[in-house]
Structure 1
Amino acid sequence: MMALRDDSRFAMPHIAVLERQAVEFLAVRDGGVYIDGTFGAGGYTRLILDAAPDARVIGIDRDQSAVARGADLVEAATGRLTLVEDRFSNLDGVAGDCGASAVDGIVLDIGVSSMQLDQPERGFSFRFDGPLDMRMGGDGPDAADVVAAASERDLADIIYRLGEERHSRSVARAIVKARAEEPIRTTARLAAIVASVVRAKPNEIHPATRTFQALRIFVNDELGELAAALLAAERILKPGGRLAVVSFHSLEDRIVKSYLASRGETRAGSRHMPDVARNEARFVTLTKKPVIADEDEVAHNPRARSAKLRAAERTAAPALAGDLDDLLPPLPPIDDVMRGG
């Protein structure tokens, strides 16, 4: 069968990071079913399809435009690729709807794609002036709505906890003052407001970088989605199935690292009580330290500089119920924030 990645019809505007290493950890085999939970431009999916002629992929993306762009790849895969518009937090539900009660591997690439960053109308980047949107899907409040409605305290908390911006209070105060004069509806205006109170030294990142990151993560509930996706992966992976997660900043990586550590513990029962199911390891970690990009990959794709890959293999222990709220920053739900304070 023709190698899909070599087909000139499928030029990729977005380069998946650590894609070869991530797919190698999946140990793709013929007849296996795999989930690419963040399809994007299909980089991981292509490698999975190329790795085994009878492997099947379920691709998921909450971005309608990504799903539309993947139509040619679905056709070229001749029945081996199913592409679904949904959130990767629902990956087990999507797999079930596609006839897979369990899967052999899951790959997740967390965060925003370069395609989204390069579209001014999406409002993800201050490199272009555009509407202050930042939604990966088309539903829910956008960044402009949050900036308009959130209290100064909530804005400061969001920017501090999700952007790790030490000037968060000054930024929140400046936003509240500016929006009282005129609504903040564009990326350029918000970036200018932030730059007026956060000073950057030469060769440092733009002063608005952390604020934009924080608003994007909050609007899309990216950390909550990640936590839910990890639990979904635990439910849907077969014993021996592999999970590979590529993250791009410390907030994401901390959640993945903590989750795999907690699911990898095997504590002995006391002499008075037998071992209980909760103490069984759900995953065996395959990466003692995160895999990072080498110099060549960083040179070809600067986005890879901050990427970290962690991988693990599912055991036969039953999945645990519950949530991972203890791994998430303490922030109010977006509905509460939209009511102001």
Structure 2
Amino acid sequence: MSQKFRRVAFIGFGERAQGLARTIATTLPEYAEVVAGFDVREIAFSDDIASRCKHFRFYKDHHEMLADPQIDVVFITTYEDTHLQFTLDALNAGKAVYCDKPVVQDLEQAEQLYKFVTSRSCYFQIGLNLPYFPVSLKLKELLDKNTVGRVTCVRAVCDLNAAFMRRHIMHKFAEPRIDFTCAKITHDTDLTQWLLNTYAEEVWGLADNFRWRRNGEAPVFNDTVVIAGRYHNGALFTQTLTSTGSTRRQVDVFGVDGEISANLYGDEIHVTKIDQGEETVKLPPQATLGHYGADTKILRDFFDYLDQGEQKPRWPERILSSLMVPLAALNNGVVRTGDWYRGIISNQS
């Protein structure tokens, strides 16, 4: 594997983009340098971005930025209703693309993007970083070892506190874009499918708004969600989203021989086996920068993927599977997601 120093540009240079740029500059300076950014807004840079990204150039036209031959990697961190076109523009310009989640805004765009990246030579990856959380990686290790036997059920919880909702979320959904259900728990539903090496076969869900409205008017997004379904491997699952309690991301995996339980924001995993009692698996102290170190891990993995030199999209099937569960839940009924998923995969193959 030949290593190459990358010059990175961002389409969209708001809070999330600057967080990723900071991670590259502070933890991966031997891999890449952030040299450019495009945004339609007037953006204020933090002091550390200004000091660490010394060759940074700001663009008001993303086509002009993509025409720069010195740029070889583009991160797309805009709102999801613009992701598809920006991704196509960047790939057509010959750039490697890292697109933040949710990758697109609906299933039609997901199908279009999947067919596009799998029909040509290109570098493409979604920024699904939840599997890179330390607890997630340990969960995956335990499940791959068949620690609790055949998995029968997964229960996942995403709880957000009111302060986070008001500070970070409300302004993003002042105008209808993608529903908050997809914007937030795309991560979570992708994680549980990844943990079990499977995909959702059928999904049922209900979503509603109970609190977060603007001036008491009609809601612009759902703030509470319940999802249930069955994976292709036969296991059942549930996923909930709430927005007025404490902050946690909890995953409980039940198998024929016991249970594995963990808060992804914690530092331990509880394993309970039938007739053997409970064992607590302690994790080493976690990094605090960039989602418990997950951003550094996924970015390093992404740059290593580019160095391998094989121009194939990474995890293209997750373009489909990461979106289909939360979007299906918004139908307030049962959706046969597996039929849709297999139909696209098989036709493209």
Shared fold per TM-score greater than 0.5:
no
Higher relative contact order (CA 8 A, sep 6+): 2
More strand by proportion, 1 or 2? 2
| TM-score, with structure 1 as normaliser | 0.29
Question: Please, what TM-score do these two structures have when normalized by structure 2?
Answer: 0.28
Structure with higher helix content: 1
